[in-house]
Structure 1
C-alpha cells in the first residue's frame, strides 16, 4: 500500500520533535545475532519498504510451526506481514483526517497478511527490499513475536476481517494500539529486535529510519 503524502508530511514534520522526547534507548538483545557462518539452519527474512509503511516477509514453510493455526494461505511460499491502524490501513484512498486520527489518538490495530509465490525482491520490484539472515533461534523468536500480535478468539483462532490490499491477502484483528510512538515501523522494529538483531527500537518512526538502521547494522 502506498501511503499518501499527507501522512508522510505529518510524520516528517514531527520527527525532530519526537526524537527529543525519546532518550535512554534500551540496549538490543544480541545473543542470537549474528548467525553462525556456514550453519545450515540459518534463516532468511525480508523487510519491505512501502514508502511510509514496512512489512516483514517470512518463508512460510519455516514459520508455520511457530504460528497459531494459521492456515489461510496453505500454498504460499512466503507471507508478508504488516501491522497498522485499523481504519487507515484498510482504506484506500486515505484522507488527511484519517492520518491525523491514527497518529494522535490511540486506535485499534490490524495485521495485513499477503501470500507470495515468488521471491519478495522480485515481487516488490518497485520497492526497497532488504534481506536479513538470522539464526534459527532468532528467527523463531521473531515469528513468535509476530504470532503474538494476532488477537485470538475464545477458540484460540485468529479473527479474520476484510480482504487485503494486493494479491491473495487479508486483514486480521491485532493486539496493541496504534499511535505516533507505536506505529507500523516501530512494530516491525520490535519484531526484528526479538531475533537478536542490534536495533534501537525507540529511535524508529519512519520506514526509512528502519531501513537505514538495518543497512547500517546488518552483517
Structure 2
C-alpha cells in the first residue's frame, strides 16, 4: 500500500528528531484502557505496517452500529482504513514534487477503505500486524473517530472519489489537511489514542514509531 509517507523517513530525521528529543513523550491516562479481561464484549482491532504507512483494520459487524460510512461494503468481514494526501495517495506513478508538495503545503486528504474477507493477520502475511484489544467503550470511540474523518456533502453523505488500491476498495473525501506534522501515521495514532490506548500522537512521524509505541505500551 503506497502513501506519500515514503519521503517522511528521510525528511523527518533531519527536521523533527531534535524536537522529539526535547519534548519527549508522555502517556495519556484513560479509564477505557486496558480492557477488563473478564468482560465478554471486548473487541480486537489490527494495525498494519505497510512500511511508510499504517492502516487500521476493524471487524465490520462490530463497527456497523457506529459507522454509517461503511454501507458500501455490506459483505465484508473486516475493513482496513487509511488516511493520506489526496493527490499522492491516489496516483499510481508518484513523482518527487508530489511528495514535497504534500509534506510542506497543507493539502486535501482522502480515506482509503478496503474490504477484507479473511483474517487480517493472514491477509497481510507479508506485513507486520499488531493486534490491539480494546474495551467496548474504547472500540466505539475509535470507530466514531474514524467515522468523523469522512467529509460529508450538503446532504450529509460521504463523498466517493473512485476505486481503491487493491481488492474491493474505494477512496473517499476526508476531513483534515495533510502535511508533515499531520500525516497518515499521526492520523492512525490519533484514532488509536481515541480508544484510550496510551499512545503519544506527538511522537509519531513514521509507521515504525507507531508500531514501537504499540508494543511498548501494550498491557
Give the equivalent residue in structure 1 for 2:93. Answer: 93
Structure 1 residue runs of 4 or more that deviate by more than 3 Å after TM superposition = 2-8, 11-15, 24-27
- What TM-score does the superposition give when structure 2 sets the normalisation length? 0.94
Q: Distance in 2 between matches of 1:9 and 1:105?
A: 17
Residue in structure 2 matched with residue 110 of structure 1 by the alignment: 110
Secondary structure at the counterpart of residue 176 of structure 1: strand
Shift of residue 47 of structure 1?
Answer: 0.2
Q: In the alignment, which residue of structure 1 is the partner of 2:186? A: 186
2:206 corresponds in structure 1 to 206
Unaligned 5+ residue runs, structure 1? none
Contiguous gaps of at least 5 residues in structure 2: none
Distance 1:177 1:57, change over 3 A: same
Per-residue deviation, 1:187: 0.3
Write the distance in 1 (CA, Å) between the matches of 2:144 and 2:2. 27
Residue 41 (structure 2) aligns with:
41
- What residue number does 1:16 align with? 17
Asked whether the equivalents of residues 161 and 171 of structure 2 are also in contact (C-alpha less than 8 Å), the reply is yes
Q: Normalising by structure 1, report the TM-score.
A: 0.94
Cα 1:167–1:11 change in 2 (3 A) is farther
Give per-residue Cα distances to partners, 1:132-152, cap 9 Å, x unaligned.
Answer: 000000000000000000001
Say whether 1:132 aligns with 2:129.
Answer: no
Higher mean C-alpha deviation, range 85-94 or range 196-205? 85-94
Measure the CA separation in 1 of the matches of 2:185 and 2:8.
14
Figure out how many residues of one structure are paired with residues of the other and give that number: 218
Cα distance between partner residues in 2 of 1:148 and 1:94: 28
> Does structure 2 retain, via aligned residues, the 8 Å contact 1:29–1:194?
no
Pair 1:66–1:164, CA change in 2 (3 A):
same
Q: CA deviation at 1:9?
A: 2.6
